[in-house]
Amino acid sequence: MSANPSEKFEPPRVGATLQALRQAQGLSLDELSRRAGVSKSMLSQIERNQANPTVAVVWRLANALRVELSDLLSGERPAAPGIELVAAHATPALSSPDGLCRLRILGPIDLAGQFEWYELTVQPGGALESEAHEPGSREHLSVLSGELEVSASGSRQQLGAGETARYAVDGPHAIRNHGGQPATAMLVVLHA
């Protein structure tokens, strides 16, 4: 067998496969790092195809994930389970310091910074005030119950149940509840 000298050989890219296997098993980077004895930063670099692991590292990762070495080296994403369920108690939430606003993080963490969605609850008198996101970023706010006011780009808009506002968020913006009842909404953020 003769090799063509102009042909370039690249090491297998295991990043997407590693990430898919880790997520399918519900493992965080921290947990896989602990199991495999590979630093969290190295795992992150491997998943983003910014580092090519040694055979020894791939072997440790395969053992930690309980898969064959060839499964990681194939470069193919494993078939996703039919339905991935996230229990209510496992859905992370953030609250404002005054406790009047609560965001339940519904989107997967690996999409953070690209595409995010939340369930937002704002108590009467509460406000979710945000600094500017990346230029070109937008939010989509759909009110499920109550009333909310959106302010962005020097404009204000009142929304009632069933209404949606879409607006640029490359400047300071806020969502406020001036009403007397709690309001709930779905908030989608599209980062540019």
Q: What is the pLDDT of residues 44-97, one digit of tens each?
A: 888 888 888 888 888 888 888 888 877 777 765 555 556 777 777 778 889 998
Q: How far apart are CA 187 and CA 58, in angstroms?
A: 39
Q: Domains, the chain, ranges and CATH?
A: 15-73 (1.10.260.40), 88-190 (2.60.120.10)
| Interval 147-165 mean pLDDT | 97
* 104 — pLDDT class (breaks 50, 70, 90): very high
- pTM strictly above 0.95: no
> CB of 3 within 8 A of CB of 17?
no
Looking at residue 81, its pLDDT comes to 57
Question: Which tokens sit at 89?
Answer: 């108690």
User: 33 pLDDT exceeds 70?
Assistant: yes
